[in-house]
Amino acid sequence: MKKIFTLLAALLVCASAFAQKWEGLAQTPQMGWNSWNKFGCDINEQLIKQTADKMQELGLADYGYVYLNLDDCWHGSRDKSGFITEDENTFPSGMRALTDYIHSKGLKAGIYSDAGVQTCACRPGSLGHEYQDALVYANWGFDYLKYDWCFTTDVNPKGAYRVMRDALRAAGRPILFSMCEWGSNQPWEWAAEIGHSWRTTGDICASFNDVQHYDDLGNPTWKAQGVLSIIDQNEPLRKYAGPGHWNDPDMLEVGNGMTVAEDRAHFTMWCMMAAPLLLGNDLNTMTPETFAIITNRDVIAIDQDPLGIQGFRTAKNVGGVEYWFKPLEGGDWAFCILNRSDSDQKVTVNWKKFCLDDEISGRSTGFDKIVYDMKNLWDAKAKPATTKRNLKVTVGTHDVAVYRLTPAGEK
């Protein structure tokens, strides 16, 4: 008998040592739409179906936005056996019908839960029901799970996220695992083998440079962070990100109330940081300016570059202006000037001052030896230019100028 127990224990240890997340997903940062930033708890199947229709009509999947994700508040209660059900009032046709609809539009479907007893909006959490929940999501046909961190007193973060990873694996359907514990337990240090992305910050709000306190969830110490505050928190974590495991500085607020320049800067900086690109606006009332921002293929290509190297800044906030680089495939670089200040800034870039070696990618800009062709990614009318000459440009307040540099030959 003792031998059998020892054998079983050994098998269990081996099984958990070999448990893996679903590999091959999120080889580039995931892209899609999520209900939370605009609609919060006010979601229902009509909204989700309309959003699916709109994503198809606008061809968003062709730009890379394939996931249509429900956030908090889709839940009903648990049945007698502990299986979770959908809210019958807001999702009367059921989740299987909804994912069928989403899939019929050429999209993938995402769902949301929480590692604690309740979700952040006080719906049932997954604690103690992880394997049941993963099975239900797989049976319903979901392809993506965002897993939050509210109501987790005494829950071990690494353990909790591992349990759900293993449950998803055991359920048998490839499901992208998006961890959302806000960076509270430094997930970048331990989560690459668990999730496909992990939040690095608290919640974003549609503001460029504010930090807003909010206590509507009974947590007055919580702050919603603006774009700049999030960038500053996410930037130092670049060495932890790569294909299949991304730093997630939260979902996009493009189209939710910032100025067009701020939206453009926000979107560009998320691309410079190889962040997941999850739209958070109302697609049905989107302005042409918002559409133009989220569908700029050249800027999206920076985010989706196959090397998957997060960009970095060279100097912090010199007179409100920052210079960012991101190594891209084929010897290219993305180069971005971010103007954090409250006034327009005239900038002269002397390339030689940016001869730098990036330890993480092992790449050098080599401006003293290499000449690059420059493509201005937001200004299609800009004259062709190279790095032979200094770059002179005015960057508007709370805006960016971003270029793709391609080696054109030796100096």
Write out the catalytic residue numbers.
Answer: 148, 203
Our finding on whether 115 is near ligand GLA (CB under 6 A) is: no
Residue whose CB is less far from ligand GLA, 113 or 268 = 113
Our finding on whether 303 is near ligand GLA (CB under 6 A) is: no
Neighbours of 407 (CB within 10 A): 16
Site stretch for ligand GLA (CB under 6 A), options 98-106, 119-127, 128-136, 326-334: 119-127
Taking CB under 6 A as the criterion, the residue among 203, 303, 305, 322 binding ligand GLA is: 203
Our finding on whether 148 is near ligand GLA (CB under 6 A) is: yes
Q: Give residues with Cβ within 8 angstroms of 143, minimum separation 6.
A: 67, 108, 109, 110, 173, 174, 175, 176
Our finding on whether 71 is near ligand GLA (CB under 6 A) is: yes
Tokens in use for 203? 């919640």
Residue whose CB is less far from ligand GLA, 73 or 138 = 73
Nearest alpha-carbon partner for 231 in 347, 316, 341: 316
Q: Give residues with Cβ within 8 angstroms of 25, minimum separation 6.
A: 174, 176, 196, 244
Element (H, E) at 112: strand 108-114
Element (H, E) at 7: helix 2-18
Could you give the CA distance from residue 146 to residue 378 in angstroms, rounded to a whole number? 32
Taking CB under 6 A as the criterion, the residue among 36, 65, 101, 144 binding ligand GLA is: 36
Our finding on whether 117 is near ligand GLA (CB under 6 A) is: no
Q: Are 262 and 208 in contact (CB under 8 A)?
A: yes
Residue whose CB is less far from ligand GLA, 180 or 237 = 180
Our finding on whether 235 is near ligand GLA (CB under 6 A) is: no
Nearest alpha-carbon partner for 67 in 196, 162, 171, 259: 196
Q: How far is residue 302 CA from its own chain's centroid?
A: 14
Taking CB under 6 A as the criterion, the residue among 180, 228, 299, 309 binding ligand GLA is: 180
Site stretch for ligand GLA (CB under 6 A), options 114-122, 163-171, 241-249, 349-357: 114-122
Site stretch for ligand GLA (CB under 6 A), options 89-97, 118-126, 128-136, 345-353: 118-126
Our finding on whether 147 is near ligand GLA (CB under 6 A) is: no
Residues that bind ligand GLA (CB under 6 A): 36, 71-72, 119-121, 148, 180, 203
